[in-house]
Amino acid sequence: AQSVTQPDIHITVSEGASLELRCNYSYGATPYLFWYVQSPGQGLQLLLKYFSGDTLVQGIKGFEAEFKRSQSSFNLRKPSVHWSDAAEYFCAVGAASGNQFYFGTGTSLTVIP
Amino acid sequence: GAVVSQHPSRVICKSGTSVKIECRSLDFQATTMFWYRQFPKQSLMLMATSNEGSKATYEQGVEKDKFLINHASLTLSTLTVTSAHPEDSSFYICSARPGLPLAYEQYFGPGTRLTVT
């Protein structure tokens, strides 16, 4: 069955520190992987996506993610977190052949000064 | 490009009334649109998938008579919550999927906050 797991419900980091948000997926076909960010009361903004090719993908706002097929992971990273990065982050997996996106349960990021 | 709008952004209605939420793809044609529901501090739950000109496909447990979805054109889908009750209060988000070659992407609207009093 298809699923996305974000093991960390909540993460707190200091401003300027590095960040890694974990995402593991279970998917029967070739996955298309996405990271979205959601600020309170807002919709989802796409940070980055992976379809094929280079397994390290760059996104907006200084984020990057690495696809590791052997580990079924697509972890999101940022070398230096800014206070404005505090938000909810969702990992999602989909496929060209199907309609549905499968979302993880989200990781809430708090940034402390 | 690839902008999806929702209207209204917030709506308050009384119990028993109906409310309609619009989802529009502004700069592309959406062969498929999706409606999600999000409870506080939770992930998105897919409610239904709609293809232009055909009936929506509802996920298990979603009442199709309560959540009416119409996808009348390639740029507009509507969700009508009929006979709303307080438990229908939630954040509703739509997304739109273009046709090929970007058929694997979904673009999300900003969401609609529904409060039923």
Encode pLDDT of A57-100 as tens digits.
999 999 999 999 999 999 999 999 999 999 999 999 987 555 67
Chain B residues inside the 8 Å CB shell of A8: none
Residues of A in contact with B1 (CB under 8 A): none
Residue A72 burial by CB count (10 A; 0-12/13-18/19+): exposed, middle or buried? middle
| B interface with A, Cβ–Cβ below 8 Å | 6, 32, 34, 41-44, 46, 49, 91, 93, 95, 97, 103-111, 113
Tens digits of residue pLDDT in A26-69: 887 778 899 999 988 888 899 999 988 889 999 999 999 999 99
Pairing of strands A10-14, B4-7: unpaired
pLDDT tens sequence across B22-57: 999 998 888 889 999 998 878 888 999 998 888 899
pLDDT in tens, B68-80: 999 889 999 999 9
d(CA A20, CA A5): 14
Q: Element (H or E) spanning B4, and its range?
A: strand B4-7
Least CB–CB distance from A103: residue in B43, B91, B104:
B43
Q: Give CA–CA dist B94/B69, Å, rounded.
A: 11
3-state secondary structure of A90: strand
Between A25 and A2, residue with greater pLDDT: A25
- β partners of residue B44: B38
Residue A24 pLDDT greater than 70, yes or no? yes
**DSSP state letter for B78:** E
Task: Report which of B107, B112, B113, B102 is spatially closest to residue B75, judged by C-alpha positions.
Answer: B107
pLDDT bin (cut points 50, 70, 90) of residue B102 is low
A101–B42 C-beta distance less than 8 A: no
CA angle, B51 then B61 then B7, to 5°: 50
- Write the CA distances from A11 to A73, A109, B113, integer angstroms: 18, 5, 26
Taking CA atoms, what residue in B is nearest to A10? Answer: B41
